[in-house]
Every structure is written in C-alpha cells, then in structure tokens.
Amino acid sequence: MDDIEMARPKGLLIPFDKFVILDILPPEQYKNVLTKMRQYVEHGKEPEGLEDLEKMAFESLRSSMDTNIETYRRSILANRKNGRKGGRPRKATGTDGIAEEPTETHGFSEKPTKTDGGLKYKVQSTTDTKVSDSSSAEALPPTPKSRFSPPDVETVKSYFAEKGGTEAQAIRFHAYYESNGWKVGRNPMKNWKAAASGWISRDRDEAKKANAPRNRAFMASRPAEEAENAKNFLADAARRRPLKKQ
C-alpha cells in the first residue's frame, strides 16, 4: 500500500464556494496561494512563507485538498481490486470516491441501503421507454379514419376530362353510382377516382371491339347444273391427259 499512500491526484479540485475566500486576496497573493495549494496536492509539500491573510485562505481550503487526495487514492485501490477479480473498474461516486458494485441486469438490486437491509426493487423510469403502459394507451384518442365523400357531377366531369374521358361518360358514371349509393358490389366505395379510371378504360376497350372489322364467312352457291357438271369433271379427271404445252 505504500505506493498508494504516495499517489497524488493529477489535478487540483477547488469547489466553487471556496473561491469566495480566494477572491478577497490581491492578485499577487491569489497567485501565491494557488501555487502553494498545487505544491501541497501534487507533492505533499507544506506551505512556507505565507502571510497571515494567505495562510488563512490556504487553511480554509486544506480540507478540500485532503478530500481530493483521499478520493484519488481510494479510486486507485478500488480499480486494483477489480482488476484482480477480472472485472471492469467500477464507477466512482461523487461522495467517497469508491465505486459502486455493478448493477444486476434482471431489474433488482441486492445491495442493502442504510435504512433497509432487505432487497430493494428498482423502479423503471417511464420517461425513457418507448412502450407505453395501458393507462397511457387508453388516454390517447383513437386515430380518425378518413370517410368517403361522394363527389358532385362537376367534379366527376373535371376528372374524366383530365383522364381523357368524355362528359357523357362522366354523367353516366355519376348517375350509376349515385343510384346504388356509391357501392362497389355490396361494399361501400372507398376511392371513386379509381373506379372512374376503370370506367374509362372499360369504355375505351369496348369502343375498340366495336370498331374492329369482323371476319364473315363467305358463302358461295351455284346452280344445280353447274354442281352436276363439277361432279363429272372430278370423276373424269383421272382419265384426262395433261394438256401439252404449245
């Protein structure tokens, strides 16, 4: 432990409320006291040659400097103990410089408090969680659903014109769905523009089919005598000789 007793902090910590004492010193004495304080904390050197006012300021801050040194030494000792156990160094507290035991991950703390020796339950904060409890969920208003609003005939005409339809198509579309309560089959309509686009496409396909040329079968007929001659011609075909080329 001798090396721990010789250990010194890497900095000089002065509480803000102690600066009230230092601020009453003139600049030169202010600098001189700070220098003596640094030498005391860094090297353990007692101050010499201080004037009465400087000595008063130094002695009023001695307890803070001793606490600074003691806290640093306790931190070194705690880190060494944890190192021998193979664990990570514990975080130092702001009161005594000794690190706390690692917190259990299952939600309970087995370290007894000063007033209660039993197990202490940890209370999870509700401000940093993404999952809301049942009470907060019930307090939230339900999300409003968009309701279908039937368009007027002028709106339908404008949309049909935009999509390449005609005014007559728009009037027929509006009249049809107005008569059946704006339903698609048995279900209420949700998007009239989608239905209008389908209406225009079907009308366009029907027009193409109506204008397409039809393939009609050609029916030929001939008199009975010609049909009889045709039979004789086919029957005598095998006996006929091919005509010689001239």
* Alpha-carbon span 89 to 146, nearest angstrom: 57
**What's residue 129's pLDDT?**
46
**What's residue 226's pLDDT?**
60
- Structural domain spans, the chain: 2-85, 153-209
* Alpha-carbon span 15 to 65, nearest angstrom: 10
H-type alpha helices, 7-51: 19-22, 27-43
The per-residue pLDDT for range 139-187, each reduced to its tens digit, is 555 556 678 899 999 999 999 999 999 999 999 999 999 999 999 988 9
Output 10-14 pairs: Cβ under 8 A, ≥24 positions apart: 10/72, 12/37, 12/38, 12/41, 12/42, 12/65, 12/68, 13/64, 13/68, 14/61, 14/64
**What's residue 98's pLDDT?**
45
Q: Which of 128, 121, 130, 179 is nearest to 150 (CA)?
A: 179
**What's residue 150's pLDDT?**
93
* Alpha-carbon span 169 to 161, nearest angstrom: 10
8 Å CB contact between 192 and 183:
no
**What's residue 109's pLDDT?**
46
pLDDT per residue as tens, the chain (246 positions): 567 777 888 888 888 887 888 888 899 999 999 898 999 998 889 999 899 889 998 998 899 899 988 898 888 888 888 877 765 655 655 544 444 444 444 444 445 455 555 555 454 554 544 444 444 445 555 556 678 899 999 999 999 999 999 999 999 999 999 999 999 988 999 999 999 999 999 999 988 888 877 655 444 455 566 656 655 666 666 665 555 555
Amino acid making up residue 24? I
